[in-house]
């Protein structure tokens, strides 16, 4: 690995500086614990303890125990919701699930840049590797866990699966503002038994929104930084509304930046709302609403040769040139969404509890890319067209804005119940149903010689919209589960077993002339048993073992439909393998949660069949990216992960995490014209070593933290003939809290510094290939190699924010 001396020296200097702050800092007020109840902070803007995920408490995390409830008087002088009660500075909350599980709380989240998203917030946890694409963390959900990427991980938000149900992209930036995020829990390797997923072969990420405050008030924040970055945020709290038991909040934010490389930038408008009604013992209904409007200039993703030649200069063109499709205004992406989640919890009887979570999510584009199409003699599907007169003819081509106005709607409901048959035995059962429709009709809009016109009329051929794909996709999902947990030996031994069956029905049509097949279906029926056992050696020490199964239905609409282009007489993308990915995994682990530190370690093994490596590629002759799942056969992965988090000592809280991973392909890769000898090769996107060091300081007035992350080299071809270099990066937070003044509660100033060494590196693979070099297959045919493309990490950035409660 090549790491600059500046990167190492700056990281060490900041680490020493954080230790030095304590000598001159003030002392925080003491916190007094009194009895049981909910956590209440002095600030009206501070939230209660994070809400539950919406899943059944007995089957969440393989029968996770309920967290201890504590009432606090006084509290920290902070309006951001922190308590400084989580070890590791908010990176190691208490876990009891009999599986590998980590998390972050407000103690960590509130001290990160307000521009962060969920993926960037969990980058320090063991096994989690985030691929940065911008220095401020506003974009990009590219993450891997144990070699599985984000499309193989299940995402829950308030109990609902809100990732794209077809291509599985999480789009976490659309879900919630960081200021409203209560906690994030990461389950490396396996999903909950009752989780509403059919893709989570690589684990589960569960995010919860903060509960509204019982006191009326609010929270306001404004900030700015490098790259003309800005964010403005306002949350208004209703407090308890009379004697109704209802309380809620509504928040609005605006954020944006200029690209750190190349022209263009991003803007985002976001609205969050949550209202809660509570009554009786364990009865509650919440209403969660979110709206997102976002547009960003797309990033160009270089090959390794292009990165070596151009570095950060490999970008879209800043000036318009007639006939040039790389003009930045032609290459944009829009992420728009509206979501509604209604998690409900009912105590029907002393021994019977019911959880119901209906949800609705609407996600839509468009995505835009520049493309030159033939002025005459081009193709609409397989039919050749005559002459197009719109736009400007340059050397026989017309420059167009290729537009993909994808539109997707999903409604679903997840229901589970828990029946305490005896004091030591609980039986659980449930059902999940979801219905999705997806429409995607691409079109082409002419760009004129002055660089304008792409928002005008679409190009038509014989009265029909010229298009490369006219897709209509319908999906229905039904899953059923049953589970039983038994506690023995005075509740020290917990045995749990469950069985889930997932049924997924898909149907896609393509209305483009010549599409073959015009209609394609996929039906999947997968039995998924799970088993787990844990033993509480002492009140502070736990050992566990588990065996789980999971599957993933094929990814993306393109897996079921052809893609055409006016520059080709035949389809440029064919339907891919429709076989589902299936995983069998085992773990054995140990966990200590004591008065001074928390520690956990686990050994894991999993075997997969029909492993689908998610890649992306450009439609030939265009700047339009499409998902390209590649079936590489079987894969085996083994490794160990560990993390250690200390509770506050003299206001400091250190944290350490790491993972060793050995993942290999089990089969030779079928190129279509023969086999390549990939069996035994290291799996792509699977760094052998990853690790993180964190240090948090908070005395109530001065606060700060430091994170240092290391990611080992990663192969990006199945033949292991090209790899991405290892990298080291670090971030710093420094802040100061002022005293309250009248209605202004606990104002603070916070400075976030990202990539403090200004390390320039490739952060992840945007596409994988079988081989970077030409090869001879098993049949003697020549396989032409091609280079993978890469994501470029953000450079140094600084963001300063001012915030206060009221």
Q: At 578, phi and psi to the nearest 5?
A: -105, 15
Residue 672 CB: number of other CB atoms within 10 A? 8
Taking 50 as the threshold, does the pLDDT of residue 194 lie above it? yes
**Is the torsion defined by CA of 620, 625, 626, 631 positive or negative?**
positive
Contacts of 420 by beta carbon, 8 Å cutoff, 6+ apart: 350, 351, 352, 426
Mean pLDDT within 33-60: 38
Q: Which residue, among 624, 380, 620, 400, has the nearest Cα to 512 in the 3D structure?
A: 380
Higher-confidence residue: 577 or 416?
416
* Average per-residue pLDDT for the chain: 88
Higher pLDDT: 299 or 35? It is 299
605 has a pLDDT exceeding 70: yes
Chosen CATH of 5-209+217-805 out of 3.30.360.10, 1.10.1270.20, 2.40.170.20, 2.40.40.20: 2.40.170.20
Selection from 704, 729, 725 nearest residue 715 by Cα: 725
Distance CA 227, CA 760 (A): 16
Write down the residue that tokens 């891919």 correspond to: 576
Tokens of 470: 């006219």
User: What b/e sequence results for 507-541 when a residue is b if at least 16 CB atoms lie within 10 Å of its CB, and e otherwise?
Assistant: ebbbebbbbeeeebebebebebebbbbbbbeeeee
Q: What share of the chain is helix, strand, coil (3-state, %, to 5)?
A: 5, 50, 40
Give the C-alpha separation, 562 to 583, whole Å: 28
CA-CA distance, 79 to 743, in Å (whole number)?
A: 12
Q: Give the pLDDT confidence of 15-28 residue by residue, as tens digits.
A: 444 334 343 333 33
Report the predicted TM-score, pTM, of the whole model to 2 decimal places.
0.90
Please state, in angstroms and as integers, the Cα–Cα distance from residue 513 to each residue in 440, 518, 535, following that order: 16, 9, 62
pLDDT at 8 over 80: no
Supply the pLDDT for residue 627. Answer: 64
Mean pLDDT of the 505-525 span = 93
The CA distances from residue 215 to 24, 41, 45, 78, 794, in Å, are: 34, 10, 8, 15, 40
pLDDT tens track for 664-705: 999 999 988 899 999 999 999 999 999 999 999 999 999 999
Percent of the chain's residues with pLDDT above 70: 88
pLDDT bin (cut points 50, 70, 90) of residue 556 is confident
Mean pLDDT of 736-748: 94
Give the residue-averaged pLDDT of 83-103: 95
pLDDT of residue 346: 96
**How large a percentage of the chain has pLDDT more than 90?**
77
In tens, the pLDDT along 149-170 reads 999 999 999 999 989 999 999 9
Confidence of residue 649 (pLDDT cuts 50, 70, 90): very high
Contacts of 547 (CB under 8 A, 6+ apart): 530, 531, 532, 584, 585, 586
Among 714, 756, 762, 715, smallest CA distance to 732 is for 756
Position 140 scores a pLDDT of: 74
Residue 536 carries which DSSP code? E
State the residue for tokens 């229901």: 415
Which of 576 and 689 is assigned the larger pLDDT? 689
Q: What is the pLDDT of residue 6?
A: 44
Q: What is d(CA 211, CA 284) in angstroms, rounded to the nearest whole number?
A: 12
Distance of alpha carbon 416 from alpha carbon 348, whole angstroms = 13
Half-sphere exposure of 455 (CA within 13 A, CB side): 3
Amino acid 560: pLDDT: 87
Answer yes or no: is pLDDT of 487 > 80. Answer: yes
- pLDDT at position 776 is 93
Give me the mean pLDDT over the 241-268 stretch.
96
Two structure tokens written together for 423: 């004091």
pLDDT tens digits along 351-370: 999 999 999 999 999 999 99
Q: So what's the pLDDT on residue 449?
A: 82
pLDDT tops 80 at residue 791: yes
pLDDT at 55 over 80: no
631-647 mean pLDDT: 95
- The structure tokens listed for 690 are 């990853």
Which of 221-224's residues contact partners 24+ apart within 8 Å by CB, and which partners? 221/114, 221/179, 221/801, 221/802, 221/803, 221/804, 222/801, 222/802, 222/803, 223/114, 223/750, 223/799, 223/800, 223/801, 223/802, 224/799, 224/800
What span, in angstroms and rounded, lies between the C-alpha atoms of 700 and 25?
9
Domain ranges of the chain: 5-209+217-805
* Residue 101 pLDDT exceeds 90: yes
Neighbour-count burial of 9, counting CB atoms closer than 10 A to its CB (0-12 exposed, 13-18 middle, 19+ buried): exposed
Beta-carbon contacts of 498 under 8 Å, excluding residues fewer than 6 positions away, are 59, 193, 428, 481, 482, 483, 484, 529, 530, 531
Confidence of residue 436 (pLDDT cuts 50, 70, 90): very high
CB 359 within 8 A of CB 341: yes
What does the pLDDT read at residue 173?
87
Length of the chain: 806
Residues 319-353: pLDDT tens digits? Answer: 999 999 999 999 999 999 999 999 999 999 989 99
Half-sphere exposure of 427 (CA within 13 A, CB side): 3
Mean pLDDT within 280-303: 94
Residues 6+ apart with CB under 8 A from 719: 676, 677, 678, 681, 770, 771, 772, 773, 775
pLDDT at site 48: 36
| Predicted confidence band of residue 617 (pLDDT cuts 50, 70, 90) | low
Of 51-55, 130-134, 589-593, 737-741, minimum mean pLDDT range? 51-55
Compare 279 and 451 and report the one with higher pLDDT: 279
Which residue, among 719, 618, 769, has the nearest Cα to 301 in the 3D structure?
618
pLDDT(51) > 70: no
pLDDT of the residue at 94: 94
Asked whether the predicted pLDDT for residue 260 surpasses 50, the reply is yes
Q: Residue 304 is inside which H or E element, if any?
A: helix 304-310
* Cα distances (Å, whole numbers) of residue 695 to 15, 202, 655: 8, 28, 6
Mean pLDDT of 455-480: 91
State the alpha helices, DSSP H only, in 333-472: none
Range of lowest pLDDT (555-559, 582-586, 721-725): 555-559
**pLDDT of res. 10:** 43
Give residue 454's pLDDT: 62
Residue 152 Cα distances to 4, 144, 147, 806, angstroms: 34, 9, 10, 42
- pLDDT band, residue 536 (cuts 50/70/90): very high
DSSP string of 110-141? TTS-TT--HHHHTTTSTTEEE--SSTTS-S--
pLDDT at 616: 65
Split at pLDDT 50, 70, 90, the class of 557 is confident
């Amino acid at each position: 690995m090549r790491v600059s001396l500046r990167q190492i020296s700056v990281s060490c200097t900041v680490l020493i500086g954080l230790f030095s702050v304590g000598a001159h800092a003030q002392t925080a007020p003491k916190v007094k614990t009194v009895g049981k109840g909910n956590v209440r902070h002095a600030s009206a803007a501070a939230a209660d303890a994070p809400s539950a995920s919406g899943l059944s408490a007995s089957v969440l995390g393989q029968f996770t125990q309920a967290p201890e409830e504590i009432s606090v008087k006084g509290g920290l002088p902070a309006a951001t919701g922190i308590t400084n009660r989580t070890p590791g500075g908010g990176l190691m909350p208490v876990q009891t699930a009999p599986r590998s599980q980590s998390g972050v709380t407000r103690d960590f989240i509130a001290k990160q840049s307000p521009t962060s998203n969920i993926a960037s917030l969990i980058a320090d946890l063991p096994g989690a590797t985030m691929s940065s694409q911008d220095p401020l963390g506003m974009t990009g959900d590219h993450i891997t866990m144990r070699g599985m990427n984000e499309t193989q991980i299940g995402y829950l938000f308030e109990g609902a699966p809100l990732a794209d149900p077809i291509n599985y992209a999480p789009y976490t930036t659309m879900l919630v503002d960081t200021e409203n995020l209560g906690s994030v829990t990461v389950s490396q390797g396996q999903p909950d038994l009752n989780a509403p997923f059919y893709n989570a072969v690589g684990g589960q990420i569960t995010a919860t929104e903060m509960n509204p405050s019982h006191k009326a008030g609010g929270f306001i924040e404004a900030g700015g930084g490098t790259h003309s970055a800005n964010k403005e945020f306002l949350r208004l709290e209703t407090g308890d509304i009379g004697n109704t038991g209802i309380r809620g909040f509504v928040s609005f934010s605006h954020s944006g930046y200029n690209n750190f490389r190349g022209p263009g930038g991003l803007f985002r408008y976001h609205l969050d709302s949550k209202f809660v009604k509570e009554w009786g013992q364990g009865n509650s209904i919440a209403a969660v609403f979110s709206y997102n409007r976002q547009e960003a200039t797309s990033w160009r993703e270089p090959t390794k040769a292009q990165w070596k030649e151009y570095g950060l200069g490999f970008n879209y063109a800043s000036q318009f040139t007639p006939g040039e499709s790389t003009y930045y205004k032609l290459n944009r992406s829009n992420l728009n969404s509206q979501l509604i989640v209604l998690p409900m919890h009912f105590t029907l009887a002393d021994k019977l509890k019911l959880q119901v979570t209906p949800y609705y999510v609407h996600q839509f584009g468009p995505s835009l890319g520049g493309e030159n199409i033939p002025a005459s003699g081009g193709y609409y599907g397989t039919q050749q067209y005559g002459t197009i007169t719109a736009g400007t003819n340059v050397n026989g081509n017309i420059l167009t804005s290729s537009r993909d106005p994808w539109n997707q709607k999903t409604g679903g409901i997840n229901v589970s119940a828990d029946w305490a048959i005896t004091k030591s035995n609980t039986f659980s059962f449930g059902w999940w149903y979801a219905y999705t429709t997806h429409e995607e009709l691409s079109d082409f809009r002419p760009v004129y010689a002055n660089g304008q016109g792409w928002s005008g009329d679409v190009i038509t051929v014989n009265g029909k919209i010229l298009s490369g794909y006219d897709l209509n996709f319908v999906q229905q999902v039904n899953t059923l589960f049953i589970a039983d947990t038994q506690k023995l030996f005075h509740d020290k031994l917990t045995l749990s077993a469950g069985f889930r069956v997932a049924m997924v029905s898909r149907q896609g049509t393509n209305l483009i002339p010549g599409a073959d097949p015009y209609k394609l279906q996929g039906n999947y029926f997968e039995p998924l048993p799970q088993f787990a056992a844990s033993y509480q050696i002492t009140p502070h020490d736990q050992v566990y073992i588990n065996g789980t199964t999971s599957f993933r239905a094929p990814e993306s609409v393109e897996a079921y439909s052809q893609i055409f282009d006016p520059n080709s007489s035949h389809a440029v993308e064919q339907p891919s393998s429709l076989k589902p990915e299936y995983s069998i995994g085992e773990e054995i682990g140990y966990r200590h949660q004591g008065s001074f530190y928390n520690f956990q370690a686990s050994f894991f093994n999993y075997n997969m069949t029909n492993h689908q490596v998610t890649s992306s590629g450009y439609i030939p002759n265009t700047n339009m990216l499409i998902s390209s799942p590649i079936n590489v056969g079987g894969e085996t992965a083994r490794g160990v992960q560990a993390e250690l988090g200390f509770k506050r000592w003299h206001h400091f809280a250190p944290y350490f995490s790491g993972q060793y991973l050995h993942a290999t392909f089990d089969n030779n890769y079928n190129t279509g014209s023969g086999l390549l000898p990939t069996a035994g090769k290291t799996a792509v996107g699977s760094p052998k070593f990853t690790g993180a060091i964190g240090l948090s300081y908070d005395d109530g007035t001065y606060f700060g933290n430091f994170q240092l992350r290391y990611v080992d080299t990663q192969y990006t071809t199945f033949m292991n003939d090209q790899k991405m270099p290892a990298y080291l990066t670090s971030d710093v937070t420094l802040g100061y809290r002022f005293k309250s003044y009248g209605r202004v509660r606990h104002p603070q100033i916070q400075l976030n510094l990202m990539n403090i060494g200004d390390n320039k590196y490739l952060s992840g693979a945007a596409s994988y290939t079988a081989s970077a070099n030409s090869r001879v297959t098993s049949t003697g045919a020549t396989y032409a190699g091609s280079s993978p493309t890469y994501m470029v990490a953000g450079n140094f950035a600084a963001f300063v924010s001012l915030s206060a409660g009221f």
